[in-house]
Each structure stands twice: as structure tokens, then as C-alpha cells.
């Protein structure tokens, strides 16, 4: 019901996914910052590994999701689009973390903003399992691994869902993580949209 009450206004966002955790998180973030915002999901897949590794791969995945929607004319040329791509990164030797790249592109106002979520620790065993499961000749190895750490976590403990293992391992759900990053994104976007042109 809240989504209907706070929809409208002059903010219309397409999220490059139909997953509830992503769409609802971005909707909540933009409605909190702008008061009213219409946020809907549209599925788009990047041509990168299912488990991106590193900041560059995460950003590339987010960019490709947006480019795919634009290339296929699924969205109009001035549509504001937000894309989310989770990736893993080794921040310290043998210390891996899951991070979400949250990217906004607004062609009409010539605004592009990227933020990164808080990081969630990923046990080295899960990363090594995903590395071992990835063929040595994997054609997308430049961007990451052929299986996700979420899949490895679910295999190790079937009670944990691969799509929201964050909640079980850190006590914070993926939706909460994306919502916080989304609030930062929405606030930066609001500021840039209303900044005087120089």
C-alpha cells in the first residue's frame, strides 16, 4: 500500500531487475528522500560472469544492465535508470567481502552517480569453492567466477537461500544493505538535480 501512496511526483525510476529486494529497496530509498517517486523493475542481464570479482567488474555489470535496456528500446531515451550489481572483492589478503555497486544514469540532466554499499564479509572457504567450481578456460573469467558465493553458501547449508545469504551471515538483509546505499544515491541525485548550472 505504501508503494501506491508514495508513487507519483516527478521522479520516475526504472530498476534493472525485477527482484523484490532490489526494486523495493530503491523504491523505499527514493520515496524517503523525494517524498514521492515511481519506481518499477525491468529485467536486464549483463554479459559478465555470474559472480563478478572486483570493483571494475561490479561497475561493468551495472553499466551493461542499463545499456541493454537502452539498446533494446525497452526504456525511453531520457529514462532515469538505477542498476545494482553485487560483486566480491579481496580487500585484504584472504579477506573477501560482498559489495553492491548501485549506479544511476539520468541522460536528460547528464547525471551519472555510483555508490557502493557497505561490505559483507564472505568466508574464504566459499570463495575458494566458487573458484574451484569455475573452469580454468571459462570465457568470462576476466570478470569473475562461473558460480556465485551465494550458490556455494546454499550448497553448504540448504537452509540458507542463495539470494539473501547476507541476512544469515551478517544479520543485515540484502534489501537493507541496498536501501542504505540507495538513500545515499537518492540524496546525491537530489542535490545534483537541483544544483545551479555553472
Kind plus residue range of the DSSP H or E element containing 71:
helix 55-71
pLDDT tens-digit map of 175-188: 999 999 999 999 99
Q: Would you call 10 helix, strand, or coil by DSSP?
A: coil
List alpha helices for 75-164, DSSP H: 124-133, 149-156
- Alpha-carbon distance of 38 to 147, in angstroms, equals 34
Average pLDDT of the chain is 93
Q: Is residue 113 over pLDDT 70?
A: yes
In order of their start, the domains of the chain are 2-120+172-193 (3.90.950.10)
Which has more confidence, 44 or 158?
Answer: 44
pLDDT recorded at residue 7 = 56
**HSE (side-chain half, CA atoms, 13 Å) at 79:** 22
Contact assessment for residue 98 and residue 119, using Cβ atoms and an 8 Å cutoff:
yes
Share of the chain above pLDDT 70, in %: 94
Paired residues of 39 in beta bridges: 13
Contact assessment for residue 49 and residue 64, using Cβ atoms and an 8 Å cutoff:
no
Closest CA to 115 of 7, 25, 1: 25
The whole-model pTM stands at 0.92
* 3-state helix, strand and coil shares in percent for the chain, rounded to the nearest 5: 40, 25, 35
Amino acid at each position: 500500500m505504501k508503494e501506491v501512496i508514495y508513487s507519483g511526483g516527478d521522479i520516475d525510476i526504472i530498476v534493472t531487475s525485477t527482484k523484490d529486494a532490489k526494486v523495493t529497496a530503491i523504491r523505499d530509498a527514493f520515496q524517503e528522500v523525494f517524498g514521492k517517486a515511481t519506481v518499477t523493475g525491468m529485467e536486464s542481464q549483463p554479459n559478465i560472469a555470474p559472480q563478478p570479482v572486483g570493483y571494475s567488474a561490479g561497475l561493468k555489470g551495472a553499466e551493461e544492465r542499463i545499456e541493454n535496456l537502452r539498446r533494446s528500446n525497452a526504456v525511453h531515451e531520457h529514462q532515469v535508470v538505477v542498476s545494482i550489481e553485487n560483486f566480491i572483492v579481496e580487500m585484504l589478503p584472504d579477506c573477501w567481502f560482498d559489495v553492491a555497486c548501485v549506479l544511476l544514469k539520468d541522460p536528460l540532466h547528464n547525471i551519472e552517480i555510483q555508490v557502493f554499499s557497505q561490505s559483507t564479509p564472505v568466508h574464504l572457504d566459499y570463495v575458494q569453492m566458487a573458484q574451484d567450481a569455475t573452469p580454468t578456460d571459462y570465457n568470462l573469467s576476466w570478470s569473475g567466477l562461473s558460480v556465485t558465493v551465494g550458490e556455494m553458501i546454499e550448497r553448504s547449508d540448504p537452509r540458507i537461500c542463495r539470494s539473501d545469504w547476507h541476512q544469515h551471515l551478517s544479520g543485515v538483509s540484502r534489501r537493507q544493505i541496498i536501501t542504505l546505499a540507495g538513500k545515499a544515491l537518492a540524496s546525491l541525485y537530489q542535490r545534483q538535480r537541483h544544483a545551479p548550472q555553472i
